[in-house]
Amino acid sequence: MIGIGVWCMKKTTGADDYFLGGRGLSGPVAALSAQASDMSGWLLMGLPGSIYALGTGQAWIAIGLGLGTIANWLIIAKPLRAYTIVANNSMTLPEFFGNRYHDEKKILLGISSAIIVVFFLVYTASALASGGKLFNTVFGIDYHVALFIGAAVILIYTFMGGFLAVCTTDFV
């Protein structure tokens, strides 16, 4: 994983490369990376636990996720990609909202950034916790050590190679 980070770091020359993989990811790589991000510890551990604890009606969550993913790719992805270029080549959703709606006071940028940070902090914490539990169960590594190692490896390859490294590790 860290080797992928080093390789991607050598291919990255600017902010557009670092944050967006140079906007040149192939469809399969982008799709598999998006699905790998969606299929985190919650989907692999939490959803089955929820189905076990609360019944098969919880399976509708998986159906909704599948339909939502399909709708995202068919309805949202292409227009959003086109609009980000029109909106001053925006690199992030908050930047896109600010540029698209001419948010001079940066209110949309601030609100959307705060929402993303809050929800992704919780999401990332749950994914790291799931990884720690997985390595503890499978390899007998102490939960906290596994959590630390997993977080360290992810941070290293992400900081080194940016979005291209994240997508490449998801694809591999």
Query: For the segment 70-94, what is each residue's pLDDT rounded down to a tens digit?
Result: 898 889 888 888 888 888 888 889 9
Q: What is the pLDDT of residues 23-46, one digit of tens each?
A: 888 877 887 887 787 777 777 788
Total domains, the chain = 1
Provide the terminal-to-terminal Cα distance of the chain, rounded to the nearest Å.
Answer: 9
Yes or no: say if 90 and 75 are a contact pair by the CB < 8 Å rule: no
Rounded Cα gap, residues 167 and 172, in angstroms: 9
State which residues of the chain have pLDDT below 50.
none
**pTM (whole model) above 0.85:** no
Enter the DSSP assignment of 87.
T
* Predicted local confidence at residue 36, as pLDDT: 80
Rounded Cα gap, residues 170 and 82, in angstroms: 24
CA 159, 91, 94, 126 torsion-angle sign? negative
Going from the C-alpha of 118 to that of each of 49, 73, 83, 85, 114, the distances in angstroms are: 25, 25, 25, 27, 6
Q: How far is CA 68 from the centre of its chain?
A: 16
Rounded Cα gap, residues 89 and 26, in angstroms: 19
| Domain range enclosing 78 | 2-171
